Every structure is written in structure tokens, then in C-alpha cells.
Structure 1
Amino acid sequence: MKHLFTLLLLIPLLSFSQESFEKQLDSISTSEEATAFLKENKPTHGKLFTFNKEKHKTRLANDLFKLSKGGKKVTRTDFKKTFYKVVDKADVDYFKFNIIVFDAAKTSNEDAISKRSKVLAQYESGYRFKDLAKHNSVGPTAKMGGDTGWIKAGEMSEAFDNEALKEDHNLSEIFSVDDLENKTYYLVIKTENRTPIEEITVLKFTEDIE
């Protein structure tokens, strides 16, 4: 009887705590507020995610993209309750390139530039760019035939962005980028022009169901 009485006292407290938490969650309207919320609550299962409409095709991502900014989705299991809150929603400019990367850090600037010139000559003589990338490039894009996938400003180096993201490069035009600071040299072909792609920033927070 004593334990039952204690349980009856706890139920309103748990309900109040959950309501208070949800009100706090509803008040979050920016990524900065979401970051502060996570820092203050220090949840084991709390995190900010960015979903890109071209890169993320899961059912969850599709459901979240249907929400407006400030929208919320809640999922439940027998033991956990997970909240997803869309704290930001915007179109972000993306580009696509094929690249061949020459790393001068392990050799020299002269060797990297010389190798790039030879590869460029091979391309101009009819070799396929993706084959040249697989055999001559370094880094993760090599096995993809040089394909960067959709990238935005800031994902590559500043030197790369300053040259490659300029509007005066036409599709399928090959050009060079010299990143002297990072001792990296590129051959680049733009494969997709500037394309706005919708992105959402989502606060995920999971709590145990008592």
C-alpha cells in the first residue's frame, strides 16, 4: 500500500516534468538555442543533425522535410520516446565536380605540377577523366572516378572554393586549382552548376519512458 501511494505521488511529478521538457523543446527556434539546450541538459541521446534533400532519402528524412521550421515529430517505442525538432530550414547552394588531386606534401610542388601536366595531356589526347582519376588521384574521390558528389562552400579548401565556385567556369570545361597552403594541386571539371538544395537542421532528443 505504501509503495502504491508513493507511485501515485510520482505520476503527477513525471507528467509535469515531461510537460515542462516539451515546453522547453517547443521554445527552441534556432540552431544556437538547440546547441545551448543540449549543453545545458547534457543528454546521452541528444544531437543536432543536418539533412540534405539530395543526400538523405530515408523515410525519416522525407517525413522531416515535410515539416515547416519549428515542426516536430515524435516516435515511441515501449521504452523510449524520441523527439525531432526542425530548428532551421533553408536552400543552400551546392555544386558538383570531377577532380584529380595531386599531393605535393609527399613529393614536391614541382613534381605535383609536372604530373598534373602529364595527366592533362593524356586527357586532351582522349583518355577518360574518370579513368585518369582512378589511376592518378589521391584521396576518397579517386575510387569514384573523381566525382565529389554535391558539395558546398567550405567543404573543400579556401583556395579550391575561390577558383572552382566562380561562375565563369562552364560545364565540362577543365581547369586547374593550386592550393599552395595545403600543397595540393587539382584538375577540375564542373559537372553541375550552382544548385539550391533544401537543407534542414534537426534537434534529436531521446528520453526513457518511465
Structure 2
Amino acid sequence: MKQYLLFALVFLCAIVSLSAQDDTEEALASIETQEQAKQFIKDKYAFNSKIFTFNEEKHKSQLAKALFTLDKGQVKTEKTAYEKVLYKILEKSTNPYYRVAYIFLDGNTYSLESINALRETLIEKYNNGTPFSALANQYSMDKNRKKGGDTGWFTVGSMPAALENAIISNNHVLEDIYTVDVPSKQWYYLVFQSHEPKDISEIKVLKIVEPLE
């Protein structure tokens, strides 16, 4: 009798677990927007789910590569001995990205005359063979100097507006060097066009983690 009750209890737990998983997958099928996904997280999975973005240029893991092969709305499921993880593609997009290197010079520290003279000297040094990254590391007056002035890939809205507009709007060719001034903030730049703009794919993914009983 005890063995029968134990078997029945295990069987009942398995049914409840499968039912819960089916409910989750059914709910996932109805989610189409980030707003719906956020509400789903808030209502049911506040502690073990999230929405995140994969960028095809930055994220090279096997998981990222697999998710990029899916279409919007599709779900990828992974299982371990302890949990099931579901990934649903909420959005897929391709956006223009930009990348330069720059040297920042602070007009609150040096006069504009000194800054212009220094920029001319730096351009001459570059033309004579000194790498722009070395010049940025030595002369730039912000933390980005540690990266040789490299911005990394960025999209619209990520940089100070005046600098961003100059980078995006003026159709500079590869390896151009140009100046950007923001007198209202006393910011002065020497910019090196290190990369051509490129379109980069991104996906927004809803991740749900369910323990397996």
C-alpha cells in the first residue's frame, strides 16, 4: 500500500511539473513585445528571468550564434539535470554602428590657442608615423586614453551629441583625421576615422529559467 501511495505521489508531482512547463510554453507563445515580456516577468518569474540584448559583433558564444539563427518569435530550449532554460526572440534588428578613436583636450585646462597648436603637432606626429593610439594614450585627457582613444562600436545616442553628429554626418573616409569643437562645454577633440560604419545585427531575448523537479 505504501509503495502504491509513493508511486501515486511521484506520478502526481510529475503531472504537475509537466503541466507547469506546458503553461509556461503556452504563455511564451502569446508574448510578442518587450512590454508583454516585462509584465510576464513581473507576474511569474521575477527572480529567474530577464530580457537581454545580443549584439552580433560583441557576442560570439555558441549560444549567441544559435540564437541569431532563430526568427522573431521562435524559442530555443536547453535542459540540464536541474533546470530548463527557454530563450524567446522578442526582436531582431540591424542598426548602423560607428567606430573612431579620439584625443580629448579640455578647454578648461588649456587655452584654445594652445589646443589648436597641440592638435597640429599631433597630426604632424601621426603623419610622421606615430600610431594614433599611442598619441591618444599620451595626450588625451579622459579615461578613454587607456584604450588608445578607441570608442568601440557605438550607435546613435551613445556619444556626446556634437561629437556624434560630426562623426556620423560628415562622411569621413577611412583614416581621416579631423577636429571637433564643443565651445559651450570647452571640449575639443582630434578624431581618427579608424573604421568605416557597418550594420550590425541585434536580438532582444527573453530568458526564462525553470527548475526541474
TM range (shorter): 0.7 to 0.9
Unaligned 5+ segments in structure 1 are: none
Identity of aligned residues (%): 33
The count of residues paired between Structure 1 and Structure 2 equals: 206
Q: 1:126 to 1:180 in 2, by over 3 A?
A: closer
Q: Given the alignment, which residue of 164, 167, 172 partners 1:169?
A: 172
My pick for the range that moved more, 72-81 or 141-150, is 141-150
CA RMSD, 1 decimal:
2.3
Give the structure-2-normalised TM-score.
0.84
**Greater strand share, 1 or 2?**
1
In 1: Cα distance, 2:186 partner to 2:34 partner:
35
My pick for the range that moved more, 182-191 or 23-32, is 182-191
In 1: Cα distance, 2:145 partner to 2:52 partner:
28
Q: Given the alignment, which residue of 14, 21, 32 partners 1:18?
A: 21
| 2:95 equivalent to 1:92 | yes
| 2:47 equivalent to 1:47 | no
In 1, are the aligned partners of 2:45 and 2:208 still within 8 Å (CA)?
no
My pick for the range that moved more, 9-18 or 200-209, is 9-18
Q: 1:43 to 1:183 in 2, by over 3 A?
A: farther
**What is the deviation of 1:69?**
1.2
SS at structure 1 position matched to 2:152: strand
In 2: Cα distance, 1:23 partner to 1:15 partner:
12
Q: 1:103 to 1:18 in 2, by over 3 A?
A: farther
In 1: Cα distance, 2:176 partner to 2:115 partner:
16
Q: 1:47 to 1:140 in 2, by over 3 A?
A: farther
In 1: Cα distance, 2:48 partner to 2:20 partner:
18
Counterpart for residue 192 of structure 1: 195
